Chain A
Amino acid sequence: MNALPGLAWRSLANRRYSAGLSVLTIAISVMLLLGVERLRHEARAGFLRSVSGVDLIVGARAHPVQLLLYSVFHLGEATQNVSWASYRAIAAAPGVAWTIPLALGDSHRGYRVVGTSDDYFEHLRVAGGQPLRFAAGTRFAELHDAVLGAEVAANLGYELGDPLVLAHGAAAVNLHAHDEQPFRVAGILARTGTPVDRAVHVSLGAIEAIHRNWRFGTRIGPAPTRAELARVDLTPRAITAFHVGLKDRAASFAVQGRINAQREEPLSAIMPAVALQQLWGLLANVERALLATAACTVLAGLLGMLTAVLATLNERRREMAILRSVGASARTIFALLLAEAALLTAAGVACGVVLCQLLLALAAPWLGSRYGLILPVGLPTPGEWRLVALVLGAGIAVGVLPALLAYRRSLAEGMSVRT
């Protein structure tokens, strides 16, 4: 029936305010649904991208998820440190190929500072085996050199050679700045799509150096001079955590067990992939609840559309009678109303997709800096298209009711409108 789309479209355009409201309701609910799904999907993918090729992560005894969160994602804090002696002992154990030490606790304008060694740039992998690459500059050469993650450099507008001052603690605005020992941007890393982008990397010695005249979080006495720093041993007394790469991956269980069982210092060794799964286990119910809520809003939107269409059904009995009189079959009436419901849903869904992209574009920077979530803005993923198809199907299913009512009434009344 080639007359249909034109008639359906014009009929809706005639009732543009009520139709527009239906479209808006559906659009907002679809925006929410897709937003939640995107968040779920990307958060999961983002987290999984962040760690690759690391067999174990070791820190002071803690819940595996907590250790994972602060060592990899820079979320939260460690309650205890790992002594340098324990670290060196494990690093020297047979079967350990490499380690990456991490000293956390300082920040720079809201971004975490990671004290580490050259092993970080040598051995860290992301997203299925990708090594770190430099967009500009090189690793630490001088004591006060800093290597910035891609996002830090981009958001704060840093270039090679620029100075920066670190602050003690992780707060965005900090009273306690290590301003007597400014740093210099020596390198900027290429974008990885992981928390590496949001970190400021300095050497372990540098962390020691800036804390020489600090005790319990406050400044005591004058800052050390350059000459003094050159003389003194800047080996750290403790670090926060470290990554371990084994010569033989198959030994992960055994090494993990030995580290966890040793009595010298309370340490936890975790397998990152397992800790990630535990994290997702914790979050699974939250995810499900979010998705269920979003689905309910879609349902509410569709029911709103149903109400709007049903409300107009009575007024449109004359329209139906006229159409019947010029030769439209009752089936055409059914199809007309169904087409209207389909058009409304389709328009709502299309607007919802667009709104979702806008919302994500607006929220992405905040989510990135606050929660470590990197949400790429782009066309919907296959999973999201599936949801879109579901909503379309639901809209058409909802449209069947008024269509059926109109069909039966049209059959019964013919061309006479009984008032």
Chain B
Amino acid sequence: MTACLRLLFFLFVLGTSAVAAEPAEIDWLKLLPPADLKAMQDAPPVDHNGPGAPTGFQFSGTVPEMDGQTGRIAGYIVPIETDAEGKLSEFFLVPYFGACIHLPAPPPNQIVHVALPEPIAMTDIYAPYWVAGTVKIQRHNDELGASAYAMTAATVARWE
């Protein structure tokens, strides 16, 4: 009798944890091809002194295995487009804060372009968010240095 109850309890816990499981976390570095990753690790530290904006890396290579992967990435939201009511409909997800303001832009393969199926209330540019969805690789003209990755069917949640 008690063994039966214990089995039921175990199955219950298993079931609820499966239902409540978060999508797998995708590390930003996973989006970098190995060569780019090495170059970034070998690079000298950024010079914050001197005139002019610091230049960033211009990697745009992509990792083919990431295409179609579902998961969630933590990052900062840079809004691009709002709808008629001021709700956010399109944005870039970047790994660090200030990418659009005073730091150099991240390399294209460290930027995720997201167009939301449903506009959401405007997010805080100063706060980190989890964006979950399916990663897609976009074919771009590399000369422009456009973002290489996009995410479809995305949902946005505050980073806790």
A residues at B contact (CB < 8 Å): 44-45, 48-49, 52-53, 55, 64, 94-95, 127-130, 248-257, 260-261, 263, 271, 273-274, 276-278, 281
Known: A253-B92, A254-B105, A281-B125. A49 touches B141 (CB 8 A): no
Q: Which of B1-9, B32-40, B75-83 contacts A (4 or more CB under 8 A)?
A: B75-83
Instruction: Please list 22 pairs of residues, one from A and one from B, whose beta carbons are closer than 8 Å in the complex, sorted by A's number.
Output: A45-B86, A48-B82, A49-B84, A94-B141, A128-B82, A128-B83, A248-B146, A249-B113, A250-B113, A253-B78, A253-B147, A254-B105, A256-B100, A257-B105, A261-B52, A261-B53, A263-B52, A273-B80, A274-B79, A276-B79, A277-B122, A281-B126
CB-nearest residue of chain A to B115: A249
Report whether over half of chain A's contact residues are helix, strand or loop; otherwise say mixed.
helix
| Interface residue from B56, B78, B84 paired with A271 (Cβ < 8 Å) | B78
Give Cα A42–Cα B87 distance, bound, in whole angstroms.
Answer: 13
Question: With a CB–CB cut-off of 8 A, which chain A residues contact B92?
Answer: 250, 252-253
The reply to whether A252 and B144 contact each other, CB–CB distance below 8 Å, is: no
What's the least CB distance linking A106 to chain B, in Å? 31
CB-nearest residue of chain B to A254: B145
The reply to whether A52 and B81 contact each other, CB–CB distance below 8 Å, is: yes
Give Cα A5–Cα B107 distance, bound, in whole angstroms.
Answer: 69
Give 5 A-B pairs besides A44-B86, A273-B79 with Cβ atoms closer than 8 angstroms: A94-B143, A250-B111, A253-B78, A274-B101, A278-B125
| Interface residue from A55, A248, A277 paired with B140 (Cβ < 8 Å) | A248
The reply to whether B138 and A250 contact each other, CB–CB distance below 8 Å, is: yes
B residues at A contact (CB < 8 Å): 52-53, 55-56, 58, 78-86, 90, 92, 94, 99-101, 104-106, 108, 111, 113, 122, 124-126, 138, 140-141, 143-147, 150
Question: With a CB–CB cut-off of 8 A, which chain B residues contact A256?
Answer: 100, 105
Give Cα A405–Cα B124 distance, bound, in whole angstroms.
Answer: 47
Known: A253-B106, A254-B108, A263-B52. A128 touches B141 (CB 8 A): no
Question: With a CB–CB cut-off of 8 A, which chain B residues contact A95?
Answer: 141, 143-144
The reply to whether A251 and B78 contact each other, CB–CB distance below 8 Å, is: no
Give Cα A253–Cα B126 distance, bound, in whole angstroms.
Answer: 18
The reply to whether A248 and B105 contact each other, CB–CB distance below 8 Å, is: no
> Which 4 residue pairs of A and B lie closest in terms of their CB atoms, listed nearest first?
A254-B145, A128-B84, A48-B86, A273-B79
Give Cα A256–Cα B99 distance, bound, in whole angstroms.
Answer: 11
The reply to whether B144 and A255 contact each other, CB–CB distance below 8 Å, is: yes
The reply to whether B101 and A260 contact each other, CB–CB distance below 8 Å, is: no
